[in-house]
Amino acid sequence: MKGFLTKDYKRRVLVVDDELINRELLGAMLSQTFEIAFASNGEEAMASLEEGDYSLILLDLLMPVMDGFAVIERCQEDERLRRIPIIVMTSEKSAEVRSIRMGAADFITKPYDMPEVILARCERIIEMSEDKSIIRSTERDKVSGLYTRGYFFAYLQRRQPALDARMDALVLNIDRFHMINELYGREKGDRVLSHFGQLIAEALPEIRGIACRSDSDTFFVCCKRQDGYEPMIRQMQERLAEASESRGLHIRAGIYSCDDNAADPESWFSRAKGACDRIRGQYGVLTARYDSEQYARTVYHERLIGDVESAIRNRDFVVYYQPKYNIKSDRPTLTSAEALIRWIHPELGFISPGDFIPLFEQNGLIRQVDDYVWHEAASQIKRWRDQYGVTIPVSVNVSRVDVFDPQLEDKLMDIVESCSLRPDDLMPEITESAYSDSADRLIEVVGSLRKSGFKIEMDDFGSGYSSLNMLTEIPFDVLKIDMQFIRRMLIDDKNLRLVKLVMDIAAFLGVPVVAEGVEEKEQLDALKEMGCDIVQGYYFSPPLPADRFEELIRKEYPRPNSADSAEAHHDVNSEK
């Protein structure tokens, strides 16, 4: 800031004194450097201040009509005038202390004896106040008028030891704000943010809080703990919708009660944000409180999402194989397998698919993961074929998300061809509930895959709500009855009758049935009696790593690499 008083721009200084001689003296000292205006009492001074922009006020204290103390007081009450530094001019020591306490920046003692000292003081005070206003401009977010994120956290960090324990951290967000930007343009988007900033600012005095805009449409508030925030948020939502003429606007708030004094302000807000994210898109729900289990889950999920790429690279995903047995004849025969993914995480250990598949379905990562599993399974079939001379068909799970992948068929075909397999060696298992996501798309995809020679297994049959509709609309090759029915079959007669019904329907359609989740001999016997074709479950074997599965192959086909077994091709259809 050195040298800021350049020749081409003179700061304006207001000299307020009732004695002409003093005004003239000061004018002479300062007019080379500043542009000077004069006032002879407080009232005149206030009038000048109303009209113009000043960088400094030199103020006499004892004046008729309105004295200097009253001027300081009036300036302090005004947002704009408060920022103009005041130097008081006095000969009384007690008045100096009082005026500084009231907000004056400095004082000059009368009579004025050393002009250079007075000039230097004026320059220094202006410089300091301009430095401060630069800081002020980085305090404020231009769009919303609230604090910036940086300033907000710096402030909380400084105040944290003194903060009352009963504080709440709130994260406020406008649902689907990007749509406003996309539909109506950024300008309108900025107006909505500015309205929202104003509404938050208006609420702050009552809840005794401070606020900032963190980024885009996310706002942070730290305030005294309130009983509930619903009415406040609801009112904000209504007023924001009205002011911005967007009736579909929804606001949601995540709340964290800052009881944990050890945690720092950043983590209060990351917890509140977790709560806020949880209710995204649930339009009836305006607020959600942080819950520690939920938060731990979110952090865990973020970790898993972040680790997918390295897991694929480092082969931390391992494919297990669960055998399926044909039970038509007296002795059950190994007929095929299902590929089931496991994650052997280098730090988190063994992770079941139930913990990450639904998560990856939400964000599309499942496509990469499935692609990996399909490749692995296909190469495994080839390896076993090369080694044991038999082709063990393996079914692979195809997520509902994959169904929407326009490349799905090409991908599967490439995989099969790259391992010199036939399409019916790698059987897509598609869960029945994919039908309720998009029946038309599923019908199209299944039809097309079958035309290319793939055999489709309908997984978890009976678990959805569309079973019967689906049966008539989708041409599939194998029906895999949902595990829940098998589990309850011998406890509850209704389930037993349902299983029978599914068998009858399958017989009518001419497709084999796989019963999965078979754990007990009684279940196996009952299924056999009903005419079930194939069984998968812990009764025979849990899913196994490839080398353990190999032992089953060796047991089933004891003559490895013999010429007559090389041609053998087993699949669920030929076993029927």
Site residues (vs ligand C2E, CB under 6 A): 322, 340-341, 352-354, 357, 366, 370, 373, 397, 399, 429, 459-460, 483, 516-519, 536-538, 543
Smaller CB separation from ligand C2E, 237 or 395: 395
Helix (H) or strand (E) run with residue 267 in it: helix 265-278
Question: Before 111, cis peptide (omega within 30)?
Answer: yes
Residue 367 structure tokens: 């496509």
Q: How far is the CB of 438 from ligand C2E (least distance, A)?
A: 17
Q: How far is the CB of 494 from Mg ion (least distance, A)?
A: 21
Q: How far is the CB of 545 from Mg ion (least distance, A)?
A: 18
Closest CA to 126 of 87, 166, 75, 178: 87
Q: Choose the contact partner of 543 out of Mg ion, ligand C2E, none; CB within 5 to 8 A by kind.
A: ligand C2E
Q: How far is the CB of 395 from Mg ion (least distance, A)?
A: 7
Q: Please report the DSSP string for 497-524 in residue order.
A: HHHHHHHHHHHHHT--EEEE---SHHHH
- Contact call for residue 429 and Mg ion (CB under 5 A): yes
- Candidates 8-16, 39-47, 350-358, 459-467 — which segment interacts with Mg ion by CB under 5 A? 459-467
Q: How far is the CB of 386 from Mg ion (least distance, A)?
A: 26
- Candidates 190-198, 323-331, 408-416, 458-466 — which segment interacts with Mg ion by CB under 5 A? 458-466
- Contact call for residue 371 and Mg ion (CB under 5 A): no
Residue 179 structure tokens: 């749509």
Rg (CA), the chain: 39
- Contact call for residue 60 and Mg ion (CB under 5 A): no
Q: Give dist(CA 98, CA 113) in Å, integer.
A: 23
Q: Choose the contact partner of 405 out of ligand C2E, Mg ion, none; CB within 5 to 8 A by kind.
A: none
Q: Give dist(CA 524, CA 530) in Å, integer.
A: 10
Q: Give dist(CA 377, CA 179) in Å, integer.
A: 42
- Contact call for residue 459 and Mg ion (CB under 5 A): yes
Q: Choose the contact partner of 434 out of Mg ion, ligand C2E, none; CB within 5 to 8 A by kind.
A: none
Smaller CB separation from ligand C2E, 50 or 522: 522
Smaller CB separation from Mg ion, 210 or 318: 318
Smaller CB separation from ligand C2E, 29 or 373: 373
Closest CA to 505 of 463, 467, 456, 460: 467
Q: Please report the DSSP string for 532-569 in residue order.
A: --EEESTTT---EEHHHHHHHHHHH--STT-TTTTT-B
Smaller CB separation from Mg ion, 397 or 399: 397
**Which one-letter DSSP state was computed for residue 259?**
-
Secondary structure class of 58 (helix, strand, coil): strand
Smaller CB separation from ligand C2E, 158 or 521: 521
Smaller CB separation from Mg ion, 457 or 550: 457
Q: Which residues bind Mg ion (CB under 5 A)?
A: 397, 429, 459-460
